[in-house]
Amino acid sequence: MRWKSGFDPYLALIVAVAQLVIAQGATWGQRLLREQLDPYAYALLLVGPLAILFRRRFPLLTVAVALGAMDLFLIGGYAYGPAFLSPGVLLFLLVTGGRRLMAWTMATMTVTSLLSYAWWVGNRDLFHSVSILAFILLFMVVAELVRIVRERRAERERVAEEEARRQASEERLTMAQELHDVLAHNISLIHVQASTALHLIDANPEQARSALATIKTASKEVLGEMRSVLNVLRDGAPRSPTAGLDRLDDLVQRSGMEVSLRRVGSRPLPPQVERAAYRIVQESLTNAARHAPGSRVSVRLEYGAEELVIVVADTGATKPAVLSEEGSGNGIPGMRERASALGGTLVAGPSGGGFQVEARLPLPEENPT
């Protein structure tokens, strides 16, 4: 026979041993009032534990059988106590298993059978009847409390598991966005510099050499970023790739354009704000390289008490664009999504003869310590 759980046979064995041991002690303690144990009594004591073995397949029938064995044990004049264990265990398992209506119905039948037996043997003491009722009611309330605690714990675990899956999905989406930004920036830079090198390789070899060096650096950068993301996915520990403002100087140097970088103020930034700021600057430089080749670009970071202001502006193209493709047009919407996700804003549009991107990212209150 295949069991749904290995718990039931062990539980049945424990209950059987407990009932037999309790029966020996109870019989000795009540030897002047109750009958001594005989084979019939031992058989009745084993009916309840055997019923536990089949409780999953026949939940109502097994409780009824254990309750009947208890009644026959009492009617036979044997000691009080041991026969109560099996019905109690089965009622407890019914409640904790979610079969509450069935459990309370059988508990009512248990009270009825015990009170009927008491009246049958002539014990019509009201205190005795109330004690039986109170004990079984308290037992059922404890079982209900155990059920509630288990259900709440299971619900907390389910919510925690769903939250962990949601966070893992969000982190993987963040990594995908990070990887997209890295690829878009570096491949655009490689394309621009490769086109520049092709135009200048005969007329100005030194400038072409500089463009090729930029291509080498950008390709190394993108390969390193891809490798780090793939390693994170392979390790099964989703984390967002790191891209902080401490790498901004290197980003400016690799842009292949004349870029001035200015920082106004300084303060620690949350990782998500720092990453978003870096990607906004990176995407803005990519757009400038695509659409305004030869322009001068200024990057300004203003660290305020309540927000970080990022302004990236170019002076406009001074030579024809070397890219034949216009791109997918996702650069500015992507930057705006990053800012909005942090509760900030991003405005992009023509400014003078060039183009300007201004982002405002809210910052938490700075800790004085």
The one-character DSSP state at 366 is P
Least Cα distance to 113 among 83, 141, 143, 138 occurs for: 83
pLDDT of residue 185: 66
Contact 211, 196 (CB under 8 A): yes
pLDDT digits (tens, 9 = 90+) for 305-359: 889 999 999 988 765 554 444 444 467 888 888 889 889 999 998 887 889 999 9
Radius of gyration of the chain (CA): 39
Q: Above pLDDT 90, what percent of the chain?
A: 10
Instruction: Please tell me the pTM assigned to this model.
Output: 0.49
For residues 285 and 251, is the Cβ–Cβ distance under 8 A? yes
The chain-wide mean pLDDT, for the chain, equals: 80
pLDDT at 240: 45
- The rounded distance, in Å, linking the Cα atoms of 223 and 240 is 17
CA-wise closest residue to 56 among 90, 105, 19, 17: 90
pLDDT of residue 309: 93
Q: What is the pLDDT of residue 219?
A: 73
Reported as a pLDDT band with limits 50, 70 and 90, residue 120 is: confident
DSSP 212-279: HHHHHHHHHHHHHHHHHHHHHHHHT---PPP--GGGHHHHHHTTSSEEEEEEES-----HHHHHHHHH
Coil, strand or helix at 133: helix
pLDDT of residue 299: 93
142 pLDDT more than 80: yes
More confident call, 255 vs 315: 315
Q: Which is higher by pLDDT, 227 or 269?
A: 269
Lowest mean pLDDT among 234-243, 291-300, 303-312: 234-243
